[in-house]
Structures are given as C-alpha cells and as structure tokens.
C-alpha cells in the first residue's frame, strides 16, 4: 500500500484515508453503513473496490458449488433409496462406506487424488483452470456453462464442462454421504408407514410406491439437510479452488489472507453468509410448497 519505506507523513495520510485514526466504534458503525450501501471498501492489494473483486469471482464459485450440489443430489438420492429398500444389499454397504469416507477424507486430498488419476494417469480431464477457450461472445449470467449454451457455442461448453467436472466431483464426494444417509433414514421411516402398506395391499406397483408416494414425503427432511450441505460445499471451495486453480471466491480469499488484505477477506465472508442465508430461505419456501400441512398448521 505504501511501499517498503514509507515516511511518517505517508503513514498518517494513509491512516486518515482508511479511517484508522478514528475510534473503533466509529470505524465499526461506518463500515456497517458502507456495507449496507454495497461499499466494502478497497482492496489493499489491488486498490480496486472490493465489490468489483467479488463480482468477478462470485459466478465461478456459484457455478462450481451448484454443480457439486447437483452431483450430490443426482447420485445421493438413488443410492439412498436403494439402501433403504434393501438394507442388507451391496447398495447399503456402499452407502455406509461413502458416508464414512466423505467425513474422514479431506477434500483437498481427494482433489489431488482425482488429479493424479483422471489428469495424470488417464489423461481424461484437464488438470486445472476454468477453461482454455475464449469465453462466450455474450455473457448473460456470468455462468460459463449456461452462457455457452445460450450462445450456442458447444465447443466452449464442452471445454468448460471438462474443466469444472473434476473439482465439482471432488467437492461433491466429500458431502455425498450426508445426502445418502439422510435419504436412507427418511425412506426407511416412510416405507413403514401405514399408507405405504395400504398401497401395497391394493396392488400399487412398487415403482409408483417408491417414487410417487414414499419419495415425496422422504424428501422433506432431505431439503433441510441440503441447505446445510450447500453451506458445507461453499466452505470447501476455499481448498478445492486452491488445488484446482479455480478463479473463484475461495481462491480470492486465500490470496487475500496470505497478503493480509482484510477488506477482501471480510467481503468474501459477508457474501458467503448472504448466499448461504438466501439458499436456506429458498429451501424453506420450497419446503412449504412440497408440504402444505405446515402452512395449514400455522394458520
């Protein structure tokens, strides 16, 4: 900010510019007021507005976290259903193994294993980065995959998918077991309900019982768990983005911590908290839609 050998005059000027010459309570209230207006201050490293830094990196992290969450749901729900339907089957043993592994294995180590296997040994996927092709001509959302499809640039989409697949997979495997265990527990309880037994007695096909009657009610607690998992995935991006050199908020936060760029670190933390709160609010609204009994009981 001031170079290697600043003069006392430069130090005093910088303190006035940053507001460090004021009492702490004044600095605190001033910071809260600025944040409420969307002003997070300036980066000490780049001297750019923190909000501009956050906007540039947010879409990459949101895209990575959302795809990892999609992987968790697409693979976790079927495995959990199979484990609940056949408690002593290989599916149940797989669910237990994945649940324990997801908790025990550090996400950064899992990411490095995938890099060694899929990029180093098999050469199936690129090692790092978000893509090598130029971004889509028109950026509608900032999400590389979606913008590539909207611009009908399928080569760019394929390139972006190859780069995001491995970090999203590593991130999802760490939380996969939470979803499977939740689905298995909820489905195990629902399958012993009286209305399920009645449906079987009336000869309703097993697939209809599972995917129409049982799954809808079993997903209710899973929705709550999904909000917690999304927050866990957001936290995991700090390490995964560093391992895969992913240009997102996690990478920005790590670099800012290493350079003592506290305005950016504070901005990242606040943005993560806001996104996590917004996701959980959306899930609560979806919860009310999927289970109208909650609204009726409240009334």
In a domain, 207, yes or no: yes
In a domain, 44, yes or no: no
What are 44-94's pLDDT values in tens digits?
888 899 999 999 899 999 999 999 999 999 988 888 888 888 888 887 887
pLDDT at 213 over 70: yes
CB neighbour class for 35 (10 Å; exposed up to 12, middle 13-18, buried from 19): middle
Helix (H) / strand (E) element for 213: namely none
Say how many Å lie between the first and final Cα of the chain, rounded: 58
All residues at 6 or more sequence positions from 7 whose CB lies less than 8 Å from its CB, including other chains = none
Tokens (6 digits) for 292: 């109208």
pTM score, whole prediction: 0.85
Total of domains in the chain:
1
Q: Long-range contacts: 58-62, Cβ < 8 Å, 24+?
A: 58/142, 58/248, 58/249, 58/271, 59/141, 59/142, 59/143, 59/144, 60/130, 60/144, 60/246, 60/247, 60/248, 60/249, 61/234, 61/237, 61/241, 61/246, 61/248, 61/249, 61/250, 62/143, 62/275
In a domain, 39, yes or no: no
* N residues, the chain: 299
Q: How far is residue 63's CA from residue 36's CA, in Å, rounded to a whole number?
A: 26
Which pLDDT value is given to residue 293?
Answer: 66
Range of the domain at 162: 57-298
Q: CB count, 10 Å around CB of 127?
A: 14
What are 135-182's pLDDT values in tens digits?
888 888 889 999 999 999 999 999 999 999 999 999 998 888 888 888
Phi, psi at 136, each rounded to 5°: -55, 155
Q: What value does the mean pLDDT take over residues 7-22? A: 81
3-state secondary structure of 171: helix
Buried b (16+ CB within 10 A) or exposed e, 185-221: bbbeebbeeeebeebeeeeeeeeebbeebbbebbbeb
In a domain, 52, yes or no: no
Mean pLDDT score of the chain: 86
Query: Cβ(166)–Cβ(125) under 8 Å?
Result: yes
In a domain, 277, yes or no: yes
In a domain, 102, yes or no: yes
- Binning pLDDT at 50, 70 and 90, where does residue 246 land? very high
3-state secondary structure of 61: helix
User: Mind giving me the DSSP string for 76-128?
Assistant: HHHHHHHHHHSTTSHHHHHHHHHHHHHHHS-HHHHHHHHIIIIIIIS--S-SS
For residues 41 and 293, the model is more confident at 41
Provide the CATH number for the domain around residue 259: 1.10.3720.10
CA angle 145, 149, 153 (to 5 degrees): 100
Name the percent of the chain lying above pLDDT 90.
29
In a domain, 77, yes or no: yes
In a domain, 262, yes or no: yes
């Amino acid at each position: 900010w001031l170079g290697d050998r600043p003069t006392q005059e430069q130090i005093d000027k910088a303190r006035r510019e940053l507001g460090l010459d004021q009492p702490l309570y004044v600095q605190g209230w001033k910071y809260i007021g600025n944040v409420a207006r969307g002003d997070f201050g300036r980066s000490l490293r780049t001297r750019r507005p923190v909000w501009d830094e956050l906007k540039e990196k947010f879409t990459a992290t949101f895209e990575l976290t959302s795809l990892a969450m999609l992987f968790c749901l697409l693979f976790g729900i079927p495995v959990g259903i199979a484990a609940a339907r056949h408690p002593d089957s290989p599916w149940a043993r797989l669910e237990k193994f994945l649940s324990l592994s997801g908790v025990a294995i550090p996400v950064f180590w899992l990411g490095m294993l995938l890099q060694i296997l899929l990029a180093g040994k098999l050469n199936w996927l690129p090692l790092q980065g978000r893509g090598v092709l130029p971004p889509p001509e028109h950026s509608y959302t900032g999400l590389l995959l979606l913008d590539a499809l909207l611009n009908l640039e399928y080569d760019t989409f394929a390139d972006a998918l190859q780069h995001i697949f491995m970090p999203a997979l590593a991130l999802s495997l760490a939380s996969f077991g939470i979803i499977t265990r939740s689905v298995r527990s909820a489905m195990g309880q629902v399958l012993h309900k009286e209305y399920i037994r009645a449906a079987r007695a009336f000869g309703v096909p097993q697939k209809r019982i599972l995917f129409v009657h049982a799954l809808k009610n079993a997903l209710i607690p899973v929705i709550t768990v999904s909000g917690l998992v999304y927050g866990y995935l957001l936290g995991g991006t700090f390490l995964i983005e560093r391992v895969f050199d992913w240009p997102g908020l996690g990478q920005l936060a790590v670099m800012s911590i290493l350079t003592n760029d506290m305005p950016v670190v504070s901005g990242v933390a606040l943005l993560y908290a806001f996104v996590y709160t917004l996701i959980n609010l959306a899930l609560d609204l979806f919860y009310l839609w999927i289970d109208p009994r909650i609204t009726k009981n409240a009334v």
